[in-house]
Structure 1
Amino acid sequence: MLNKLLLNRSQIKKYLVLTLIVLITIVGYKYLYKEHRIIENEIPRYSLTAQQIYSEFNNDFEISQNKYGDKIIEVSGLVSEINETDITIDNKVFCQFTKQIINREQMNNSRIIVKGRLIGYDDLLEQVKLDQCLIN
């Protein structure tokens, strides 16, 4: 009877392998599918003018990308172009919003501060790109 209660080595190995597979699957899922960031709750790490951030990317792209990439920043300047869901500041910074922008007519050529996540620099258009933006 005691022999029936005890697991043999092959059964123990099967349970250990199964447990290891389940743990790897859970950890892998958590790593790949992280929780979405809520930008409006995050504090900006940097606050710059559109000209400053543009100049930094033009001077040294790699250092700027490492410094600002995927970080929440605030950018200030004059609105040079405005559409339903995006704003361009000083023709240097493109800001993509998740919602439609209200009162667009009043904002054209006005000073603005935008908070968003820096996603990169567009070489073709020579613009710094932000997404998930909010107007401060």
Structure 2
Amino acid sequence: MKKLLLIIVLIITAFCLYKYVYQNHRDIENEEASFELKSSTLINEFSINPIESETKYLNKTIEITGSITDINATNLTLNNIIFCQFSEHLQKSLSMNSQVKIKGRFIGYDDLLEQIKLDQCTVGIN
């Protein structure tokens, strides 16, 4: 009886672990944004209270409108503070100082570099 109960518990535990590890990945591009704001608003929130702001936005999909201040093959920076990582190479039509709307998942605030970080980003010309 105890062996049967132990086997059932092990099967249930294994099933739960499998479902946790192999859960569906989020599709940030098609997910509705929890927050839509200007880069200056987001930067201001983090300058006032970074811990509270990080808790508010962590792992949420957000849309940010701002000006490109740095651009590379797979990432760009808005207003020198918001770092956006892309899964694919960026469009060649993007240029410095152009206004864009970025949609991505907020992954954290780097207090050493004072950067707001997003990943799985997509871009739309504003």
TM over 0.5: yes
Structure in which a larger fraction of residues adopt strand: 2
Structure 2 distance, partners of 1:80, 1:32, is 37
Which has the higher Rg, Structure 1 or Structure 2? 1
Kindly indicate whether residue 122 of structure 2 is the aligned counterpart of residue 134 of structure 1: yes
Percent of matched pairs sharing the same residue: 41
Root mean square deviation of aligned Cα: 1.3
Tell me by how many angstroms 1:61 deviates.
1.6
Cross-structure match for 2:73: 84
TM-score (norm 1): 0.85
Task: Return 64-73 or 33-42, whichever deviates more.
Answer: 33-42
1:1-136 equivalences under 5 Å are 12-104=1-93, 106-136=94-124
Letter in 2 for 1:41: N
Q: Deviations over 1:89-118 (max 9, x none)?
A: 1112110000001215x4221100000000
Structure 2 distance, partners of 1:18, 1:40, is 42
- How many residue pairs match? The answer is 124
Q: Deviations over 1:54-106 (max 9, x none)?
A: 111121122111110000000111111110000101112110000001215x4
Q: Deviations over 1:18-74 (max 9, x none)?
A: 011110111123224432111112000001111111111121122111110000000
Tell me by how many angstroms 1:13 deviates.
2.2
Secondary structure of residue in 1 paired with 2:5: helix
TM-score (norm 2): 0.91
For structure 1, the residue ranges without an aligned partner over 5 or more in a row are: 1-11
Structure in which a larger fraction of residues adopt helix: 1
For structure 2, the residue ranges without an aligned partner over 5 or more in a row are: none
Letter in 2 for 1:112: V
Structure 1 distance, partners of 2:65, 2:106, is 14
